[in-house]
């Protein structure tokens, strides 16, 4: 199996010079990730490879391909994680602070 890092380098889409050991580590990590997805989604590894190919999916597309259970935001994810962990149902408050970057005056 050729991992996306090797494929990118073979197709000339990368101008980076990567250490062969780093490429090997990235490819092993990618293969392990595919195996985890296959097991976790109860999906044939060949199908996972066809879907993955090193791409990043939008939430909607991932949902349509069976890669996620549902769509939602951070609070939905926290609620689901608490339910799956059997946390007691208590009223909690989450506060988020958003930082807005000002446009740089340096040009």
Domain extent listing, the chain: 4-84
Gyration radius of the chain's alpha carbons: 20
Model confidence pLDDT, tens digit, residues 25-65: 888 999 999 999 999 999 999 999 999 887 888 999 999 99
pLDDT reading at 7 higher than 70: no
**Average pLDDT for residues 64-82, to the nearest whole number?**
90
Q: What is the pLDDT of residue 52?
A: 87
Task: Note the pTM of the prediction, 2 decimals.
Answer: 0.61
pLDDT reading at 80 higher than 70: yes
CB-facing half-sphere around the CA of 50: CA atoms within 13 A: 6
> Whole-angstrom Cα distance, residue 31 to residue 45?
10
């Amino acid at each position: 199996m050729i991992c996306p890092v090797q494929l990118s380098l073979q197709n000339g889409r990368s101008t980076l010079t990567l250490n062969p050991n780093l490429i090997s580590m990235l490819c092993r990590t990618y293969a392990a990730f595919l195996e985890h997805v296959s097991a976790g989604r109860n999906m044939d590894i060949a199908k996972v490879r066809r879907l993955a190919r090193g791409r990043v999916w939008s939430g909607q597309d991932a949902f349509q391909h069976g890669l996620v259970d549902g769509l939602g935001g951070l609070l939905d994810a926290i609620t689901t994680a608490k339910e799956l962990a059997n946390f007691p149902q208590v009223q909690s408050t989450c506060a988020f602070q958003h930082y807005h970057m000002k446009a740089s005056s340096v040009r």
